Amino acid sequence: MTDAAIHARGLGKSFGATRVLNGVELTVPTGSLLALLGPNGSGKTTTVRILTTLLAADSGTATVGGHDVAREGVAVRRSIGLTAQQATVDDLLTGRENLELFAGLHHLGRREARRRAAELLERFDLGAAANRRVSTYSGGMRRRLDLAASMVAVPRILFLDEPTTGLDPRSRAELWSVIRELLASGTTILLTTQYLEEADRLADRIAVINNGRVVADDTPAALKRQVGAERLVLHLSRAEDVSRAGAVLVTGTGPHLDADAREVTLAMQGPDQLRHTLNLLDREGIAVERVELRSPTLDDVFFEFTAVAV
Ligand SMILES: Nc1ncnc2c1ncn2[C@@H]1O[C@H](COP(=O)(O)OP(=O)(O)O)[C@@H](O)[C@H]1O
Ligand SMILES: [Mg+2]
Average confidence score pLDDT of the chain? 88
Higher-confidence position of 71 and 166: 71
Nearest ligand to the C-alpha of residue 22?
1
What pTM does this model have?
A: 0.76
Summarize the chain as % helix, strand, coil (round to 5). 40, 30, 35
Supply the pLDDT for residue 85.
Answer: 56
- Ligand 1 atom 3: the closest Cα is on which residue? 15
pLDDT score recorded for residue 89: 81
Task: Kindly state the DSSP code that residue 227 receives in the 8-state scheme.
Answer: T
pLDDT at 222: 85
Measured between alpha carbons, how far apart are the two ends of the chain, in Å?
31
Of all ligands present, the nearest one to the C-alpha of 15 is 1
What are the pLDDT digits (tens) for 102-135? 888 888 889 999 999 999 999 888 999 999 999 9
- Euclidean distance between CA atoms 47 and 21, whole angstroms: 8
Task: Report CA(277)–ligand 2 centroid distance (Å).
Answer: 39
C-alpha of residue 145 to centroid of ligand 1, in Å? 25
Ligand 1 centroid–CA 37 distance in Å is 15
Report the separation in Å between the CA atom of 131 and the middle of ligand 1, taken as the mean of its atom positions: 36
Q: Which position has the higher pLDDT, 10 or 169?
A: 10
pLDDT at 229: 63
* pLDDT of the residue at 309: 38
Tell me the pLDDT tens digit for each residue of 53-83: 999 999 999 999 999 999 999 999 888 877 6
Q: What percent of the chain has pLDDT over 70?
A: 94
174 CA to middle of ligand 2, Å?
22
At 140, the amino acid letter reads: G
Assess whether the region 4-224 and the region 231-294 belong to the same CATH fold. no
CB 19 within 8 A of CB 12: yes
CA proximity to 85, closest of 208, 191, 198: 191
Please give the distance, rounded to the nearest whole angstrom, from the Cα atom of residue 85 to the centre of ligand 1. 12
CA 271 to ligand 2 center in whole angstroms? 41
Chain length of the chain = 310
CB atoms within 10 A of CB 278: 15
Q: What is the mean pLDDT of residues 281-306?
A: 85
- Cβ of 38 less than 6 Å from ligand 1: yes
Q: Is 24 in the pocket of ligand 1 (CB under 6 A)?
A: no
Better-predicted residue by pLDDT, 13 or 254: 13
For the beta sheet containing 33-37, the strands, ordered from the edge strand earlier in sequence to the opposite edge, are 80-83, 157-161, 188-193, 33-37, 205-210, 213-218
* Mean pLDDT across 165-193: 86
Ligand 1 within 6 A of CB of 15: yes
164 against 10, higher pLDDT: 10
**Torsion-angle region of 205 (φ positive above 0: left; ψ -120 to 50: alpha; else: beta):** beta
State which ligand 1 atom lies nearest to the alpha carbon of 162: 21
| Higher-confidence position of 80 and 236 | 236
CA dist 242 and 284 (Å) reads 12
- 62 against 223, higher pLDDT: 62
Using only the alpha carbons of the chain, give its radius of gyration: 23
What pLDDT score was predicted for residue 86? 58
Reduced to 3 states (helix: H, G, I; strand: E, B; else coil), residue 244 is helix
95-106 mean pLDDT: 90
Q: Is the CB of 41 under 6 A from ligand 1?
A: yes
**Which residue puts its alpha carbon closest to atom 9 of ligand 1?**
46
Does the structure show a pLDDT above 50 at 310? no
CA 18 to chain centre: 23
SS3 125: coil
What's the whole-number mean pLDDT along residues 193-218?
90
Say whether pLDDT at 288 is over 90.
Answer: yes
Where are the strands (E) in 30-87, listed by range?
A: 33-37, 59-64, 67-68, 80-83
Least confident range of 120-124, 142-146, 153-157, 297-301 = 297-301
Domain layout of the chain by residue ranges: 4-224, 231-294
Q: Which ligand is nearest to the CA of 83?
A: 2
- pLDDT of 1 > 50? The answer is no
Is there an atom of ligand 1 within 6 Å of 11 CB? no
Given pLDDT bands bounded at 50, 70 and 90, which one contains residue 267? confident
Q: Are 300 and 248 in contact (CB under 8 A)?
A: no
Give pLDDT, residue 55: 97
Cα 45 to ligand 2 centre (Å) = 4
Q: Which CATH superfamily is domain 4-224 in?
A: P-loop containing nucleotide triphosphate hydrolases (3.40.50.300)
Minimal-distance CA residue to ligand 1 atom 26: 41
Q: What distance in Å separates the CA atoms of residue 69 and residue 71, rounded to the nearest whole number?
A: 6
Cis peptide, bond prior to residue 163, ω within 30 of zero: no
Is the pLDDT at 2 greater than 60, yes or no? no
Q: CATH assignment of 231-294?
A: 3.30.70
Residue to probe by mutation, ligand 1, list 18, 21, 24, 46, most atoms within 8 Å of CB: 46
β-pair partners for 24: 11
**Is residue 160 lining ligand 1, measured as CB closer than 6 Å?**
no
Most confident among 7-16, 87-96, 154-163, 223-232 (mean pLDDT): 7-16
In the chain, the percentage of residues whose pLDDT exceeds 90 is: 54
User: Atom 6 of ligand 1 has which residue's CA nearest to it?
Assistant: 15
